[in-house]
Amino acid sequence: MDSEREKMLAGEPYDPSDAELVADRRRAESTAAEYNRTDPDESDERQRLLDGLFGSVGEHVSVEPPVRCDYGSNVHVGDRFFANVDCVFLDVCRIEFGDDCMLGPGVHVYTATHPLNPEERAAGLEYGKPVTVGDDVWVGGRAVLNPGVTVGDGAMVASGAVVTEDVPPRVVVQGNPADVVREIE
């Protein structure tokens, strides 16, 4: 039988109160809190903590504290990744950023979701859908990437946008829900 962790990662309904998952969230919360207490000149310590928090970390990565995540281990960032202050990663499924991605302050990335049916929701089960962000993507401050979306290479998500559907490569999206407003030459 699949563990609750295996079901979670596969995007199947899972029980978030499972002891292993609770322990993993506490570990991530503790590591993130330690990271968030670091000083700007503690780059080696920040790197060590990010390597322990995220599933994979490219080269020349910068994440400005504070940062929050559910598990951390499902967050994968490429080379030259930058996240400004107050970013949130609800990573019950994989969140993957390509190379040369930049996140403005307060960007939220959600993979966690819940059943629409209120009786199923009341039963406490959750599920998730992965989020994938290509190379050379800029996500403006306070934007939200919702479960299951893919943002194509070279795209720009404007500040405050709420991305509910896939974003094609080399376009600018804005609004709630986010719509393509122009192509990038």
What is the pLDDT at residue 174?
98
What is the pLDDT at residue 157?
98
In this structure, the number of other CB atoms found within 10 A of the CB of residue 35 comes to 21
Q: Where do the H-state alpha helices sit in the chain? A: 4-9, 19-36, 43-53, 118-122
CB burial of residue 46 (10 Å; 0-12, 13-18, 19+): buried
For residue 118, give the 3-state DSSP assignment: helix
Q: What CATH number does the domain containing 93 carry?
A: 2.160.10.10
Confidence of residue 1 (pLDDT cuts 50, 70, 90): low
The answer as to whether 65 is a domain residue is yes
Domain residues for the domain of 57 are: 4-171
The answer as to whether 76 is a domain residue is yes
Strand-pairing partners, residue 147, are: none
Catalytic residues: 114
Give the C-alpha separation, 158 to 20, whole Å: 37
Structural tokens at position 46: 């920040």
The answer as to whether 176 is a domain residue is no
Give how far Cα 47 sits from Cα of 54, 59, 93, 171, Å. Answer: 10, 10, 23, 32
Q: What tens digit of pLDDT does each residue of 104-127 get?
A: 999 999 999 999 999 988 999 999
In this structure, the number of other CB atoms found within 10 A of the CB of residue 30 comes to 11
The answer as to whether 181 is a domain residue is no
Strand-pairing partners, residue 144, are: 108, 162
The answer as to whether 133 is a domain residue is yes
The answer as to whether 180 is a domain residue is no
Total domains in the fold of the chain: 1
Predicted TM-score (pTM) of this structure: 0.96
Q: What tens digit of pLDDT does each residue of 54-110 get?
A: 999 999 999 999 999 999 999 999 999 999 999 999 999 999 999 999 999 999 999
The answer as to whether 183 is a domain residue is no
Q: What tens digit of pLDDT does each residue of 151-166 get?
A: 999 999 999 999 999 9
Determine what percent of the chain is predicted with pLDDT higher than 70.
99
Average pLDDT, the chain: 97
Residues across the chain:
185
